[in-house]
């Protein structure tokens, strides 16, 4: 079964290359998401049965001043990809984000909850979601949050880098979500694609993130504890750490339908930290 993956060096694409080395991975040089038509043409000639979009514009703060290009990459490109996948009879799996919600409340967001992005990045991802649904093919939109791995840029690696030179670090404690190991996310994306090939009626929007919910501050504490770092974490609130883009305070995602439909349980992010730290040790 031919699998085409947009993305080569990102966290999820890197993990997908391990579990699906037979897939075709395309990077920016071969298919720039800033050129949606080129991405659609590549799909048209691919012969793929599963198309996975593991690429995106992810510079959340920079998107505030680059919303047009962010929307082209996160909105127009996946819309064109989904339409192209439909035309060749392939299923399309697209990753989205908790940033499509406004972050209010303290309960987990169901997949059908009303959206209300607070940032340009969130708005750009919502355009992509709407385009994928409108394409009318076999698809899954998989929203996730707080992805981390031994590769690329992510919170875990940033915390370890800062811990090397800081005895104390202030970390936001009023934003809560589910850290998601990229390796588990990659397995989920691939498994959903495989099941959609057999059962296209499963198409829809789903959530997949780590459990249990935790604040950024407590996430950092667990990272330091497992890594043996002596750096102490002090709690701050979002207002103490202003950024160009507004972040959702509540990034909890209701993942129960994903388990019911696809048999995919939420991963334990603490176990994910353990695996990532071991991999980073092996890379040294």
- Sign, CA dihedral 86-200-197-206, equals positive
- Tell me which H or E stretch contains 93: strand 91-97
Contact, 33 vs 39, CB < 8 A? yes
- Calculate the dihedral angle through the C-alpha atoms of 144, 238, 122, 71, rounding to the nearest 10 degrees: -120
| CA angle (109, 153, 123) in 5-degree steps | 40
Contact, 99 vs 119, CB < 8 A? yes
Active site residues: 121
Is the peptide bond preceding residue 14 cis, with omega within 30 degrees of 0? no
Beta bridge partners of 176: 215, 250
Pairing of strands 50-53, 3-6: parallel
Contact, 115 vs 89, CB < 8 A? no
DSSP symbols for 209-224: --BS-EEHHHHHHHHH
Cα–Cα distances (Å) from 80 to 11, 38, 139, 142, 151, in that order, read: 23, 9, 13, 17, 28
Integer Cα distance of 111 and 139 in angstroms: 15
Integer Cα distance of 30 and 19 in angstroms: 22
């Amino acid at each position: 079964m031919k699998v085409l993956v947009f993305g080569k060096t990102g966290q999820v694409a890197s993990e997908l290359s391990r579990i699906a080395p037979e897939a075709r991975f395309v990077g920016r040089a071969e298919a720039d998401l800033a050129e949606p038509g080129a991405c659609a043409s590549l799909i048209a000639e691919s012969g793929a049965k599963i198309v996975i979009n593991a690429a995106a514009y992810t510079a959340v703060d920079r998107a505030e001043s680059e919303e047009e290009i962010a929307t082209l990459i996160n909105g127009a490109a996946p819309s064109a990809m989904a339409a192209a996948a439909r035309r060749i009879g392939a299923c399309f799996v697209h990753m989205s984000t908790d940033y499509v919600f406004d972050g209010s409340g303290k309960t987990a967001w169901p997949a059908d909850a009303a959206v209300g992005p607070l940032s340009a990045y969130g708005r750009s991802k919502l355009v992509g979601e709407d385009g994928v649904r409108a394409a009318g093919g076999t698809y899954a939109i998989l929203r996730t949050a707080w992805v981390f791995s031994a590769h690329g840029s992510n919170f875990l690696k940033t915390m370890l880098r800062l811990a090397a030179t800081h005895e104390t670090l202030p970390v936001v404690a009023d934003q809560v979500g589910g850290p998601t190991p990229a390796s588990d996310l990659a397995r989920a994306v691939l498994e959903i694609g495989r099941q959609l090939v057999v059962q296209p009626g499963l198409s829809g929007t789903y959530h997949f993130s780590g459990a249990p919910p935790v604040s950024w501050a407590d996430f950092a504490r667990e990272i330091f504890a497992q890594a043996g770092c002596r750096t102490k974490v002090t709690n701050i609130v979002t207002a103490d750490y202003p950024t160009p883009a507004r972040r959702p305070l509540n990034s909890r995602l209701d993942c129960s339908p994903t388990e019911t439909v696809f048999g995919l349980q939420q991963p334990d992010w603490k176990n994910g930290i353990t695996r990532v730290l071991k991999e980073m040790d092996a890379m040294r």
